[in-house]
Chains A and B, each alone.
Chain A
């Protein structure tokens, strides 16, 4: 039984060796849990007729609209209303549409978007008053806000019309914002870019389930500020889920 004398202990050793287990910490072995799926949904549960009323402050520096033009600083109210599915033109598909009207009714604009459960995509816009214009239409919808967006995220840079129109969108932070309509948890989005020779900077505070709560828009041309508008939500008919 000479061979068995050596082989059996070796086999036993092999069994022992393979049975030994190096302990790893649970943090290393356990895969990281996925972030909670879609906590911001429905991102914008708008119904036809829902309204958002904003307090708007507009500043236009002197000499911007013309030589010796005075500085403009005015406040007004603006109402955004969800119209449902509307087609901007006969050759365009029906998309979600918001109509934005100033309190005095002097200007109206339509914003065309696509609203899904977890995202809002921009599609275009059209001026209705004082004079209806041809709609600005994007052949490819651009993401405006996506549920679960984390601070530090950057959207793919957009370039249209051979660099004439560029947009860079970044999520700066998730923060709570207090406005006249209340306290809202918001996604703070910074959009910068160019429309020809006009540079723009737009900070939007979007509250999932409610919509735009505050917005600061600035426009620059030839190294000067030409326009600043700040709007904040006063009241809304939309019910937060």
Chain B
């Protein structure tokens, strides 16, 4: 009974969390299980699956999200705006792209990348790669083939950029480690130098103290050293037993 209640509660929490992720005013609802959203069935199921399967695999392994969206029209909105709305609603990966296609539009499909990692990339390089990818995809003969080509181009692009960033980050880390190692070695040498200096200070100080004492004993207000000579009958005798008496003479 208790496990059942817990399961129901857990499922409720998950559903609540999932629904909370989707903006409330997103008219297309939650993201579908496939990486292809084609409500009108423009792409045949086999082609949709052949596009979606590799994208799903890439997302599972590399957390790179490419979403394909096919709409009948954009209601006058710019394609990038529509694509970004889908991305905001359905994509959470650090780098993702929406491939948006409107059947019949000559400038379609559009590839719109987004995500935190994109902010680190060189915008000129991004734009150049994007233009080349869209241009190649647009050269396909049929529209479904254009969509497939655009999805492949987008995935290749994002995978390359992500790995390139990782390589760059690793290179920076390696250089930083090498710099820290050099700094540590320098610090060690400095430490050894200080230790040697400290060790040599003690005999120096002792030597200096002794020198000061020696020089001090030679100067004024210093008593000459005593010269001890043996005396007959010393210490009790003095003057060869001569006694001197001062006072009235004895009568």
* Residues on A facing B (Cβ under 8 Å): 1, 3-4, 7-8, 10-12, 14-15, 17-19, 24, 28-32, 61, 150-154, 170-173, 175, 190, 192, 199, 201, 203, 218, 220, 223-225
Contacts and interface: CB of A to CB of B under 8 A. Distances in A.
Contact of A17 (B163, B181, B194): B194
B167 interface: yes
B205 A3 contact: yes
A14 B160 contact: no
A225 B156 CA distance: 19
Given A3-B208, A18-B194, A31 B160 contact: no
Given A11-B205, A154-B164, A172-B159, 16 more contacts: A3-B209, A3-B212, A7-B201, A12-B198, A14-B197, A24-B184, A28-B180, A29-B180, A61-B141, A152-B160, A152-B163, A152-B167, A153-B164, A173-B159, A192-B132, A223-B138
Contacts of B178: 31
B136 A220 contact: yes
Contacts of B181: 29, 31
Contacts, number: 98
Interface in B130-183: 132, 135-136, 138-141, 156, 159-167, 170, 173-174, 177-178, 180-181
Contacts of B159: 151, 172-173
Contacts of A30: 177
A15 B141 contact: no
Closest 8 CB pairs of A and B: A152-B163, A151-B163, A152-B164, A18-B194, A11-B201, A14-B198, A15-B198, A7-B205
Given A4-B209, A172-B160, A152 B195 contact: no
A85 to B, nearest CB: 35
A10 B71 CA distance: 81
Contacts of A4: 205-206, 209
B144 to A, nearest CB: 13
30 contacts: A3-B205, A3-B212, A4-B205, A4-B209, A15-B195, A17-B194, A19-B191, A19-B195, A29-B180, A29-B184, A31-B174, A31-B177, A32-B170, A32-B173, A32-B174, A32-B177, A61-B141, A150-B163, A151-B163, A152-B161, A152-B167, A170-B160, A172-B156, A172-B159, A190-B156, A199-B136, A201-B136, A203-B156, A220-B136, A224-B141
Task: Output the residue of B62, B164, B198, B206 with the most chain A CB within 10 A.
Answer: B198
Contacts of B201: 7, 10-11, 14
Nearest to A15: B198
A115 to B, nearest CB: 26
Contacts of A1: 209
A3 B208 CA distance: 9
A223 B184 CA distance: 59
Nearest to A203: B156
Nearest to B199: A15
B159 to A, nearest CB: 5
A240 B194 CA distance: 59
Nearest to B135: A223
B202 interface: yes
A152 B206 CA distance: 66
